[in-house]
Chains A and B, each alone.
Chain A
Amino acid sequence: MPTPPAVEAISARKTYGDGQAAVVALKDVSVQIGKGEFFTLLGPSGCGKTTLLRLIAGFETPTAGQILLDGNDITADPPNLRPINTVFQNYALFPHLTVAQNVGFGLEMQGRPRREVEETAAEMLALVKLEAMANRRCSQLSGGQQQRVALARALAPRPKVLLLDEPLSALDLKLRKEMQSELKRLQTETGITFIFVTHDQEEALTMSDRIGVMSAGKILQIGSPRDIYTKPANRFVADFIGETNFLSADLSGQTLTLPGGFRIDLTPAQTKGRQGQVTVALRPEQIRPADQGLSATVTQLVYFGTDMHSHARLSDGTEVVARMQTSPSGEAALHEGQAITLGFAPEAIQVLED
């Protein structure tokens, strides 16, 4: 018998309010998250990712559907009976307790002996490199330190699943980068399943084993960072993760006709049986000047140091951005108003769902 996933949501629905004013925050979401996985829920604010997290934590009960932990239905369990801990966006550290007391709180509530509580708290503080702060008040700590205390507090009871609700959003860029690798290290060391919520696509791409992209209360696509980036299922995912160009095209058999009449042959895996009018995505970094390809006119060149963003207009008026490498001297091989042919590998084309 295969081991059940660490966390599973089955058709989880959450509605706030009732009647005319009802808001559906989560529309029958089903997802399976494996043991020891670093799973990220990614989406813009209001997409339902935090609602899903709160349903897993037990802070809210689903209007319909089920939440399973290791295959057991925990939908009706209150949060204190779930071996799941949360790192809150605002940390929610207890201001009347010391750092060590905060970290030991969960174990103490579980009724563990005082000695064990103190030892584990010290161990956890060592894990997040805050041993020296054990007897401080939380208000005396910096934002980054508070963040680490919140992490230690949530990890101390050795939960089966750790939920992280945009924990890095309050930190400055440098600290955020540090904490990203810190989190990844902690997850590898502890082997605990992490469910991470963020609206930052870069954070999601660099840290996750798998990403679930959410929008308007639904999970649109689940996959590895590479899959999500290179094979976005639809326009929203392609647009939300990284930069991309959208082109209208026509599919006939395996042959794709792009604006200006340029034709290429796609594989069946790419076309997914679609015919007729389709929208395709093409990443800017996949485009090169070539002998064959899309005919365009350069409209604008933007120098970024590492590369050059060339904006070009196709014959049907579509604006396309191509990221091209700069020469060692930083000089552009192109100039505005120049006619150019934009080439790309056929595999770079993604046919999107509607």
Chain B
Amino acid sequence: MAKRKDFSVTRLPGFATIALTAFVALYLPIVTLVVYSFNGSETVAIWGGFSLRWYGIAWDNTQVQEATLRSLIIAASAAGIATTVATMAALATTRTGRFKGETLIYVMINQPLMVPEIVTAVALLIVFAAVKVATGYTGLGYLILAHAAFCIPFAYLPIRARLEGMDLSLEIAASDLYATPWQTFRRVTLPLMMPGVIAGAMLAFVISLDDVIITEFVKSAGQDTLPTYMLGQLRRAVTPEVNAISTALLGLTVLMLTAFFILTRTRD
């Protein structure tokens, strides 16, 4: 890799400036958000000294409590469904012989990554409206199903990557050593693909937790999740409460993504 040493992108003119600008643009808003979440004053824009006041207010706000609980229920259920489906899809697309239309299936599984979310949202709104009329059911099921659907590719990709990186001869060796197909899956394939499955589930969970567009279209009255509740709040008086909730959400997401990276990087 001598070539790489000769050519270093850091020596290009303006490298430092561009890098710095990019980092500032990325992180300054987040830093501001976090800092102002500890704001003691009534409004977001004026600094009123360090305080955990808004965290307390958010914590005691029953609407926030309900929205948080709802978000967690939806995210956990959707991630569970999406991970199960994605695991089966990943097994079917890596552990069977090549079949006709394999690429088409691959594209179809990853459809939510390519179709604009707003299109899916409108489509779901129309379909679910009809289902609501027909069945009369108005529970969280619609949101869970909708979230599960767009979470599938996020769960699928890390699981598939893990399966593709796995040595096929291990499964052949298991069958050679008297393991039935189910035992092979249970004792060899599943334990080895587990880091991918956990990573996929966490990614799906985070993606669901943070969704606004589809949720906004699909939810019935009184089914606000945390992000849609915050969006609603912003339309009225903006208080540092939103900052506090966002910071808490940020903390949770960072925690999960860190775990995701650690899990996907440790191989065998």
In this assembly, does B60 line the interface, its C-beta being within 8 Å of a C-beta of chain A? no
Nearest-Cβ distance from residue B96 to partner chain A, whole angstroms: 15
The reply to whether B178 and A92 contact each other, CB–CB distance below 8 Å, is: no
Of the candidates B176, B179, B191, B268, the one whose C-beta lies within 8 Å of that of A57 is B176
In angstroms, Cα B177 to Cα A157, docked, is 8
The reply to whether A79 and B170 contact each other, CB–CB distance below 8 Å, is: no
Of the candidates B173, B178, B188, the one whose C-beta lies within 8 Å of that of A88 is B173
Q: A78 to chain B: which residues have CB within 8 Å? A: 175
The reply to whether A153 and B177 contact each other, CB–CB distance below 8 Å, is: yes
The reply to whether A80 and B169 contact each other, CB–CB distance below 8 Å, is: no
In angstroms, Cα B170 to Cα A88, docked, is 10
Contact residues of B between 65 and 111, Cβ < 8 Å to A = none
Contact with A along B177-194 (1 / 0, CB 8 A): 111100100011001100
The reply to whether B180 and A92 contact each other, CB–CB distance below 8 Å, is: no
In this assembly, does B172 line the interface, its C-beta being within 8 Å of a C-beta of chain A? yes
Q: B192 to chain A: which residues have CB within 8 Å? A: 95-96
Assuming the contacts A96-B191, A139-B268, asked whether A157 and B170 have C-beta atoms less than 8 A apart, the reply is: no
The reply to whether B172 and A105 contact each other, CB–CB distance below 8 Å, is: no
In this assembly, does B174 line the interface, its C-beta being within 8 Å of a C-beta of chain A? yes
In angstroms, Cα B176 to Cα A78, docked, is 9
Contact with A along B134-161 (1 / 0, CB 8 A): 0000000000000000000000000000
In this assembly, does B167 line the interface, its C-beta being within 8 Å of a C-beta of chain A? yes
Q: B172 to chain A: which residues have CB within 8 Å? A: 59, 79, 88, 92
Q: B183 to chain A: which residues have CB within 8 Å? A: 109
Name which of A59, A85, A96, A109 has the most chain B CB atoms within 10 A of its CB.
A109
In this assembly, does A110 line the interface, its C-beta being within 8 Å of a C-beta of chain B? yes
Name which of B173, B180, B268 has the most chain A CB atoms within 10 A of its CB.
B173
Assuming the contacts A90-B167, A92-B169, A95-B268, asked whether A85 and B191 have C-beta atoms less than 8 A apart, the reply is: no
Assuming the contacts A86-B173, A96-B192, asked whether A157 and B167 have C-beta atoms less than 8 A apart, the reply is: no
Q: B169 to chain A: which residues have CB within 8 Å? A: 88, 90, 92
Assuming the contacts A92-B172, A94-B170, asked whether A105 and B191 have C-beta atoms less than 8 A apart, the reply is: no
Q: B173 to chain A: which residues have CB within 8 Å? A: 86, 88, 92-94
Contact residues of A between 58 and 111, Cβ < 8 Å to B = 59, 78-81, 84-86, 88, 90, 92-96, 105-106, 109-110
Q: A105 to chain B: which residues have CB within 8 Å? A: 174, 177, 179, 187
Which residue of chain B lies nearest to A54 when distances are taken between CB atoms in the complex? B172
Which residue of chain A lies nearest to B191 when distances are taken between CB atoms in the complex? A96
Which residue of chain A lies nearest to B177 when distances are taken between CB atoms in the complex? A106
Which residue of chain B lies nearest to A95 when distances are taken between CB atoms in the complex? B268
Q: B178 to chain A: which residues have CB within 8 Å? A: 80-81, 106, 109-110, 157
In angstroms, Cα B174 to Cα A153, docked, is 11
Assuming the contacts A109-B183, A139-B268, asked whether A85 and B176 have C-beta atoms less than 8 A apart, the reply is: yes
Q: A79 to chain B: which residues have CB within 8 Å? A: 172, 175-176
In angstroms, Cα B180 to Cα A59, docked, is 13
In angstroms, Cα B179 to Cα A86, docked, is 14
Name which of A84, A90, A94 has the most chain B CB atoms within 10 A of its CB.
A94
Nearest-Cβ distance from residue B212 to partner chain A, whole angstroms: 40
The reply to whether A92 and B167 contact each other, CB–CB distance below 8 Å, is: yes
In angstroms, Cα B204 to Cα A307, docked, is 71
Of the candidates A59, A84, A86, A92, the one whose C-beta lies within 8 Å of that of B170 is A92
Nearest-Cβ distance from residue B169 to partner chain A, whole angstroms: 4
Of the candidates A86, A96, A110, A139, the one whose C-beta lies within 8 Å of that of B176 is A86
Nearest-Cβ distance from residue A91 to partner chain B, whole angstroms: 9
Nearest-Cβ distance from residue A120 to partner chain B, whole angstroms: 13
In angstroms, Cα B177 to Cα A93, docked, is 12
In angstroms, Cα B143 to Cα A82, docked, is 50
Q: A94 to chain B: which residues have CB within 8 Å? A: 170, 173-174, 188
In angstroms, Cα B184 to Cα A106, docked, is 11
Q: A90 to chain B: which residues have CB within 8 Å? A: 167, 169
Q: A109 to chain B: which residues have CB within 8 Å? A: 174, 177-180, 183, 187
Q: A139 to chain B: which residues have CB within 8 Å? A: 268
Q: A85 to chain B: which residues have CB within 8 Å? A: 176-177
Contact residues of A between 140 and 164, Cβ < 8 Å to B = 153-154, 157
Contact with B along A154-182 (1 / 0, CB 8 A): 10010000000000000000000000000
Nearest-Cβ distance from residue B265 to partner chain A, whole angstroms: 16
Nearest-Cβ distance from residue A162 to partner chain B, whole angstroms: 11
Contact with B along A120-153 (1 / 0, CB 8 A): 0000000000000000000100000000000001
The 8 listed contacts between A and B (C-beta, < 8 Å) are A80-B178, A90-B169, A92-B170, A92-B173, A94-B173, A94-B174, A109-B174, A154-B176
List the 3 shortest-distance A-B pairs measured between CB atoms, nearest first.
A106-B177, A92-B173, A109-B178
Interface of B with A (CB < 8 Å)?
A: 167, 169-170, 172-180, 183, 187-188, 191-192, 268
